[in-house]
Amino acid sequence: MGDVVDSVDLLSLNAEWHARPGMQLAKGCRVVHVVTPRGRRILEGIGIPPDAGFTAREARHHIAATPGFSVKWEGHTEVSNYTFAVPAEAGCDAFTAPALGFLPAAAAEAVLSARQLGVRVDFLTAGADVEAGGYNEARRLFGEMPLYGGLMTDGNAAVWADFRPDAEGFLRFLVVDISLTEPRMSRLVQRLLDIETYRFLAVAALPVARRTMERLDGLEPQLDRLMANLRSRAGNELEPLLREITHLAAEGEELVSSTAYRFAAARAYEDIVARRLADVREEVVPGYQRITTFLNKSFRPAMRTCEAAAVRADGFTGRVSRAVNLLNTMVDMEQKRQNQAILQSMEKQAATQVRLQQAVEGFSVFAIAYYAVSLFGYMLKALKGMGLPVPVEAATGVIVPVAIVFTALSVRHIKRRMHGD
């Protein structure tokens, strides 16, 4: 733990608190915000002179001003943001000027080709020509599409939007300045841009969630079928089933690992959107749907879908893991049963061998006794042949039980000595 703390560059860590400076806006401007894939080529391509702060590899933001506009670049984990503040054209309605008309044509085309999200914010001042709240003017500018808005920042401004891309592909916010100061205006615009940027990044997980659901629609029935077959499978059929379910486990783990980052990022972005929606402190304008209400109505279900996909994927891998453990247990039990059967068979064979050995030993006693009696008979016949009065038959008959008993005792003695050794 101490090594980790010792390795921290305190100056770099302190700089993190200042890594997202706000862009100070002046009244009489319009704002264009573009989200692109991560990188800084666009900033370099529109003629912003690099300085040490921008060219540093670890740089995460840069603010620069040119005679025609100001720009702020922010580098995030997945995207880069470019926010342009441009003097509004005098005498022109909001949203009438091309969004990137202040850039050279080639630079504007480069920005548009790299754009993933575009937002423009124009301003009106509430006064003699614009009623407080500015709904009628907003309705004229946005047309007949549904309009969402309300008072924000403690009633100092009203914000209106239709959340539909215009002809250039930009989402539009109209901010009606009731009694805004420039710092408040800057903070309000930053929060609106954050809401759209992080909402876009969060909703990027929705297609992933839908694909995850589709894959699970195919994988879960396979798991259900395999589990249903467990009861009907004999012991020698468990190993093929185990191979099938192990394959499902690999697919489930691959699915979770390939989507975990996207779903975790979506949760983080959702938290940021929720905080920014709370920060704008939107108030109800009677008769009109609030921006926060519209976003929550469309945004939260999308996030719950992502959450449900993540939970369902985790649940599937958990079910597969339990099924694999169950099958492993069943296979182990079957192997133990087979081993027990083998041991019992070996025990029976050993008992049979013992009985055969005992039978052979019994026969061997008679065989040895027979040979001993035969030898004894030959000896008696030899003595009789020498003229001695020997009763060969009687003596041979008498020696038979003696030979059998002696042989049996000798075999028993030899077995005891062998077992004793």
Type of residue numbered 61: H
Q: What is the mean pLDDT of each run of 10 residues along the chain (421 residues)?
A: 53 57 86 87 67 55 83 87 87 85 88 92 78 83 88 90 93 92 93 94 95 94 84 66 85 93 94 93 82 88 94 92 81 79 83 74 72 76 74 74 76 72 55
| Per-residue pLDDT, 1 | 45
CA angle 4, 6, 7 (to 5 degrees): 65
Q: Which has the closest alpha carbon to 302: 400, 415, 206, 232?
A: 206
Sign of CA dihedral 135, 141, 146, 148: negative
CA–CA gap between residue 138 and residue 84 (Å, rounded): 22
Q: How many CA atoms lie within 13 A of 99 on its CB side?
A: 23
Q: What residues contact 363, with CB distance under 8 A and at least 6 apart?
A: none
Residue of 82, 95, 81, 76 whose CA lies nearest to 30: 95
Q: What share of the chain is helix, strand, coil (3-state, %, to 5)?
A: 60, 15, 25
Alpha carbons 99 and 120: distance in angstroms, whole number: 7
Tokens of 327: 């099958």
Q: How far apart are CA 84 and CA 99, in angstroms?
A: 10
Run of H or E including 416: helix 392-420
User: Which phi and psi (to 5°) does residue 92 adopt?
Assistant: -105, 145
Residues 160, 117, 259: CA angle, nearest 5 degrees: 120
Q: Residue 220 — φ and ψ, nearest 5°? A: -65, -45
Q: Which two tokens stand for residue 319?
A: 């079910």
